[in-house]
Amino acid sequence: MTLGPVMLDLVGKELTAEDIKRLQHPLVGGVILFSRNFESPAQLKALTASIHAVRQPPLLISVDHEGGRVQRFKDGFTKIPPMREFGKIWDSHPKKAKELAEEAGWILAAELRAHGVDFSFTPVLDMDYGESQVIGNRAFHVKAQAIHELAYALMHGLKRGGMPAVGKHFPGHGYVVADSHVAIPVDEREFDEIAQNDMQPFRQMIDDGIQAIMPAHVIYPKVDEKPAGFSPRWLQKVLRERLGFDGVIFSDDLSMEGAGVAGDVTARALAALNAGCDMVLLCNQPDKADELLANLKWEMTGASRARLARMHGARSPKDMDHLHEDAEFVAAVKRVDLVGKSEQDLF
């Protein structure tokens, strides 16, 4: 059975019979974990092993584990600082900021891989204009050069830890005030302004080989009346053709308010898949997940299947005991722990 185009979440800390039934459905290809699915490192490792055992090839396991206020697993995991902290260091010490961002990516990936997670939805490539309710210090900077340099370093760290990178939220979520989880944000700027600013980090990271991208649930009416994640113009004409991206396109969560313009859950999934997404996410609504699996009709292309297969984490990751015996890793953890706390000790 190949991976399907739908990524779902779980209710609790271990698989239930209902979870297993959903995960065995041929439309499912992945699982996204949240804080409610985490109790301890041992429990998490057992959970991911049980998910991977459900079918072959194993389902993809993901998480939003960026650092700062978006870090789902805490006890037993290194506390990753908000990405803005690396941007602050970049302003005066760009080389040091890049070194620290790479170490943060390595730590993040190595610890998640040690617990069976394939990838995290990171890095955020949005520019922070100081207005967004949801982006804020999740963004590295407002300058495209800083975002690119730091995201590139983080991606290298992720790769070192055995994990692909996912850039978000294309073509840029940082300009709008509204939070797409609870509203439908509208960005009134012209395409050229977005392309010359917000899209630059995405373009540069695509040139650098980033493996996956997540579009924004934001409407850019000067370009298309549909949110970017439901727009063939944004995903096929701009992202695929103009920018030459050939990695995975993940939809943002279809249960978010910003996705509501596309209709019911099946209509939302079809809109995203027809627009060019390879995989759609549906979170926090088990009844809607059942509705989607019952009603969605979709044939995966060979290209989508190949792209998704590349999102599996590297084989044979080090376990936490081995990581804590690695002097270089332990030193990196100590340095990253100082970010945002004691700049003088970093130099």
**Residue list for the binding site:** 64, 72, 138, 168-169
Residue 167: strand pairing partners = 213
Residue (of 248, 258, 243) closest to 214 by Cα position: 248
What is the distance between the alpha carbons of residues 38 and 129, in angstroms, rounded to a whole number?
33
Active site residues: 181, 252
In this prediction, residue 256 carries a pLDDT of 63
Indicate the SS3 state at residue 228: helix
Q: What is the pLDDT of residue 168?
A: 97
> pLDDT value at position 170?
97
DSSP 3-state of 244 = coil
pLDDT at 179: 66
188-191 long-range contacts, CB within 8 A, separation 24+ = 188/221, 188/222, 189/220, 189/222, 190/222, 191/220, 191/222, 191/223
> Among candidates 35, 37, 1, 5, which has minimal Cα distance to 19?
37
pTM of the predicted model as reported, rounded to 2 decimal places? 0.95
- Axis crossing angle, helix 83-92 with helix 94-114, rounded to the nearest 10: 160
Buried b / exposed e along 5-16 (16+ C-beta atoms within 10 A) = bbbbbbeeeebe
pLDDT mean for each 10 residues of the chain (347 residues): 94 96 97 97 98 96 96 96 97 97 98 98 95 89 98 98 97 84 84 97 98 95 95 98 98 71 83 97 92 96 96 88 95 95 68
Contact assessment for residue 59 and residue 5, using Cβ atoms and an 8 Å cutoff? no
Strand pairing category for 65-67 and 166-170:
unpaired
Write down the pLDDT at residue 184: 81
Annotated binding residues for substrate, as ranges? 64, 72, 138, 168-169
Q: Which helix (H) or strand (E) holds 302?
A: helix 302-309
Structural domains in the chain plus CATH codes:
6-346 (3.20.20.300)
| pLDDT at residue 347 in the model | 65
What sign for the dihedral angle of Cα 150, 151, 152, 153?
Answer: positive
SS3 82: coil
SS3 at position 341:
coil
